[in-house]
Amino acid sequence: MARNPNSTGSLGRPRKKTTESAGYPYVDRLIESLPDHRVGSPPFRHTVGSEVDMLAAMAKRAKSQTTRILLTGLGFASLGIAIIGVILPGIPTTGPVLLAAYFFSRSSERFDRWLLEHRIFGPVVQDWRAGRGFTIRAKAISVLAIAVTFSITVGFAVSNLGFRIGLILLAMGISGYILSLPTKAAEAAG
């Protein structure tokens, strides 16, 4: 479907041409694949323009080589936590994968593309970037992992009452945020 060159983004500003994606051809392909209409339903009412703006913002690579190296290292550290989370119950996976995707998008087209095309982690990042949300199962696992890990921390590792209350509020905030994200229908097997 051809895009209207006069259409506007989420803030009413004209959409940028896809050739301005900071040298990321796969971002161009992803932007071109987005439908040219509103997506989602309440409470998730992002327009395609906001998705284009989000992709363009993520495609801005750091200019400094030192910054790119640091961001790539942080990306691999986040991915390492996610890999541990796949193996060990109670360690989060989705958050570190998304954090790694952000770091890679700012530092290395090669590693960003690799993560997007990864068999296990790629679908999570693609769904997040396209605004499709998470399945009910992913939300339940995330909230359960938060509840278990924060309960153990508050119950056994922290003795300061103020810090305990702060951790409980943080867990509630993170869980609330996860639950407020759009829910994606479970994919049919087969």
Q: What is the pLDDT of residues 111-169, one digit of tens each?
A: 999 999 999 888 888 888 887 778 888 888 888 888 888 899 899 988 999 999 999 99
Model confidence at 90, in pLDDT bands (50, 70, 90)? low
pLDDT at 78 over 50: yes
- Give the per-residue pLDDT at 26: 57
| 88 or 15, greater pLDDT | 88
Residue type, 130: A
* Helix, coil or strand: residue 74: helix
CA-nearest of 135, 101, 136 to 118 is 101
Can you tell me the distance from the alpha carbon of 71 to that of 48, in angstroms, rounded to the nearest whole number? 28
Q: Which tokens belong to 71? A: 């961001």
Q: What angle do CA 78, 79, 84 make, to 5 degrees?
A: 100
CA-nearest of 28, 48, 29 to 37 is 48
Model confidence at 80, in pLDDT bands (50, 70, 90)? very high
Strands (E), 33-93: none
Task: Please give the DSSP secondary-structure letter assigned to residue 153.
Answer: I
* Helix, coil or strand: residue 4: coil
Can you tell me the distance from the alpha carbon of 52 to that of 169, in angstroms, rounded to the nearest whole number? 33
Model confidence at 22, in pLDDT bands (50, 70, 90)? very low
- Give the per-residue pLDDT at 54: 53
| 25 or 145, greater pLDDT | 145
Express as a percent the part of the chain with pLDDT over 70.
66
CA-nearest of 85, 168, 70, 159 to 121 is 85
Taking the CB of residue 50, how many other CB atoms lie within 10 A of it? Answer: 15
Over residues 40-72, the pLDDT tens digits come to 444 333 444 455 555 555 557 788 899 999 999
